Each structure stands twice: as C-alpha cells, then as structure tokens.
Amino acid sequence: MMENTTTLNDLIEINNDRVEGYEKAITQIKDEDSDLKEVFSDMVAQSQRFSVELKKHVFSEGNDPAEGTTNRGKIYRVWMDVKAVFTGKDRKATLSSCEFGEDAAQRAYATALEDNDLKPEVKHLLKNKKSLSKHHMIELKFYEIHNLYHNNTILEPVCIKHTGLFYLLQ
C-alpha cells in the first residue's frame, strides 16, 4: 500500500501547488478583474478540499500525508512572478499561467489513475477530482476566449464544445 501513499502524496503536493498558484494569481490580477479573483478563490478552496480528502486516505493507510508543494510548482510560481514583471500583471497572461497549472494537474491525475494497485474507492475519488479539475480548465479557457472576444481580438462568436457542454460567446 506504500505505492498508494506515494501516488496520493504526489497529488496532495500538486493540489498544494494549485492553492499557492491561485493565491499568487489573485495577487497578480488588476482590481478591474474582480471576476477572476472570485474564480481563483473558489479554485483555492476546492484545491484545499481535495488535499484534505486525499490526506484522509493516506491517514487511513497508516501513513503521513505530504505537507509541502512540488519543486516544479515552486519554480513555476517564480516564473509567474518574472512573467508578471514583463506583462504588467496582464489578465491574459495570468489566465494562461493558470491554464498551464490545470493542464499539469490533469496529467497528474491521469497518471495516478493508471496505477492498477489503487483501491476502487480511491480510484473513484481521483476520477471525480480529475473531472472537477477539467471543469476548471474549461472555465479558465472560457474566460480567456471571452476576454479576447471583448477586446475585439476575435470578431466572430465562438463556440467551445466539451463533453456535451457548449459555450457560446457573443
């Protein structure tokens, strides 16, 4: 069961990365982007809940859960700082950084789900978390495209299709 703990601890650290990344994004957006502050705050809370749920499973196996973040996440947050200096805390750049982080989370959940030794209830939990993370990735993409459309970068209505959901931006 130690492999389960390793897999879950990796995901705990990734969710901790998400918390710190979205908290950093909140500090990097301009006051006029208050809509994003609310979205990012929701994502912080969700990531914290994910970590708590994953920690419960690690504890149930008699092991200690991870507490920190990944080195890759720390490096990426430094990159977000450097990028913000050059882009002036631009909405598009912040959304792009967050999308990158959600994409990394999706890959991590997909890799974890390939582990055939995971208990069925853990596998179910991870599928659920991966699905919710995917929803957030779509939401970020929606905000990015909405931003482009309203800044006249995109001149025609755009339709985003994902798993049966359609978003029409006008």
The token pair that represents 162 in the structure block: 């994902």
Query: In the block, which residue shows the tokens 């959304």?
Result: 95
Domains of the chain, by residue range, sit at 2-169
Report percent pLDDT > 70 for the chain: 72
Q: What is the pLDDT of residues 19-49, one digit of tens each?
A: 888 898 888 888 888 888 888 899 899 999 9
Q: Are 12 and 64 in contact (CB under 8 A)?
A: no
| Cα 85 to chain centroid, rounded | 22
Fold of the CATH domain 2-169: Ferritin (1.20.1260)
pLDDT at residue number 101? 81
Single pTM value for the model: 0.77
| Higher pLDDT pick, 164 / 15 | 15
75-94 average pLDDT score:
65
Residue 81 scores a pLDDT above 80: no
Residue 99: Cβ within 10 Å count: 18
